[in-house]
Amino acid sequence: MTLTTLALRKQLEQTEADIDQTNRDLDLLDKKRTLILHQLAIVATFPVLTLPVEITREIFIGCLPFAQCRPFTTKEKNYGTAAATLLSICREWRHIALSTPELWTVLSLRFDPIPSGVTVPKSEQVEAYIDRWLGRAGMRPLSLCFERARRGNNVLHDCSFPPTRMGGIINRYSKRIEYLELYLTQTDIDQLGLDDIELPQLERVSFGPIYPAESDNPVVAFPHAPRLHNVSLVAYAYFEYYALPSLQLTTFEGTISSMELFSVALNLVEVKCSVEFLDPTPTSPVQHPRLQSLAFFPNVKAPMDILPYLTLPSLQALHISEVEDTTYPSLFAFFRRSGPPLTTLCIRANNEDFLDWEQCVSSVGATLENLELEYPSRAVQDSILCIDDDKYPYNRRVETSTIFPRLPN
């Protein structure tokens, strides 16, 4: 049956009326939904917001980088201002963050050159930002890291924030600085004025990388830091490039080019160093009465063996696995000369040119509690365990308790 024009028009009107009603219903439902969401936001409980403020505060503190084991890693430097992120999450978190001084005790800043055409901040704006940040830390000890932009090993000198202004910041907070890290050139560090600044709370410092550097003009640093005891020098920051308060140091990590460290820093307890060359070459061993731990790490190349130039009667831990050119007769001579109460020995055990280990370990075997062998060969292992094919032709297992009575099985 064919509908008339009039009937079709009536159906169209009814359909349009239904659509209008449906749209009105949707509008009402949307308004109802908005009202419910608003009411839910008022009464809902989000788990993270139900935590006591003290717990939230500890979570914040635990998630941010701090200067417990320095120097800063690259990731930590990238997040050196991470506490500011907490301010933009919600009002509650902003309040907690601003009332947690521990979040603001660490500040890592990198100063880059400002391209032409970019508005340079007024001279006081950077200092104002730093003051605002560190002001939230109350009177707590501070950990600061300043880095100048560099391309490869070369620091870019067209940075708009000169070392003298960095020195002014260090001087302003000198009474509270506990840890200081400087990625600057040797010249920049000299311009900071560290020879005049009093740093009564400073305990640890780290320098590097600095290139180029001059060994003929050592930078006088931290003569007025009575609590400084831990120094870490990174990359090209040699110990000889600085005049440090050596007698008060107990921990050192870095590169050396002479035996001066062991001659002047007589209270050192722990040293981790890299040695690429010695100038001058010592004529006799240097005796250090207090050193308890000595380890070597590679820099550009494997560190050289300096054991022939040392006597360490208090040594308890020796890590020389990175020293590929260690001649084990020199190790035996070092043990015999030093007579150390050694408890930990880490060596590279793939040197089959020397297999007379029975004599080498005899002077330390009685006290040794931890023996670490890197890349061990069977021949070296047998030599260390005093295994002789003629003496033990059928049983190659020997009780180590007679050789190393304190070594766990």
Residue range(s) occupied by CATH 3.80.10 in the chain: 250-409
CATH 1.10.150 fits 250-409, yes or no: no
Q: Which of 44-58, 209-223, 299-313 has the highest mean pLDDT?
A: 299-313
Average pLDDT, rounded, for the chain: 81
In terms of Cβ atoms closer than 10 Å to its own Cβ (0-12, 13-18, 19+), residue 369 is middle
Partner residues linked to 166 by β-bridges: none
**pTM across the whole model:** 0.78
Instruction: Please state, in angstroms and as integers, the Cα–Cα distance from residue 264 to each residue in 91, 267, 283, 284, 305, following that order.
Output: 55, 9, 17, 16, 20
Q: Is the pLDDT of residue 394 over 50?
A: no
Q: Is the pLDDT of residue 403 over 80?
A: no
Partner residues linked to 242 by β-bridges: 219
Compute the average pLDDT of residues 238-267: 94
Structure tokens at 303: 């560190």
The phi and psi torsions of 20 (rounded to 5 degrees) equal -60, -45
Tell the residue number behind the tokens 């139900």, with chain if given: 50
Q: Which pLDDT value is given to residue 211?
A: 61
Per-residue pLDDT of 307-347, as tens digits, reads 999 999 999 999 988 886 666 678 888 999 999 999 999 98
Per-residue pLDDT of 64-89, as tens digits, reads 665 444 455 444 444 456 778 878 87
What's the rounded Cα separation, in Å, for the pair 362 and 366? 7
Q: Is the pLDDT of residue 26 over 80?
A: yes
Per-residue pLDDT of 137-174, as tens digits, reads 999 999 998 887 665 544 445 556 788 888 999 999 99
Short-list 328, 330, 338, CA closest to 367: 338
User: Which residues are CB-contacts of 59 (< 8 A; sequence separation ≥ 6)?
Assistant: 51
Per-residue pLDDT of 355-365, as tens digits, reads 667 677 777 88
One-letter amino acid of 178? E
Structure tokens at 400: 């180590």
User: Which residues are CB-contacts of 58 (< 8 A; sequence separation ≥ 6)?
Assistant: none
Q: Which pLDDT value is given to residue 409?
A: 62
Name the residue with higher pLDDT: 213 or 297: 297
What percent of the chain has a predicted confidence (pLDDT) above 90? 36
Name the residue with higher pLDDT: 381 or 270: 270
Q: Which of 20-29, 44-53, 114-123 has the highest mean pLDDT?
A: 20-29
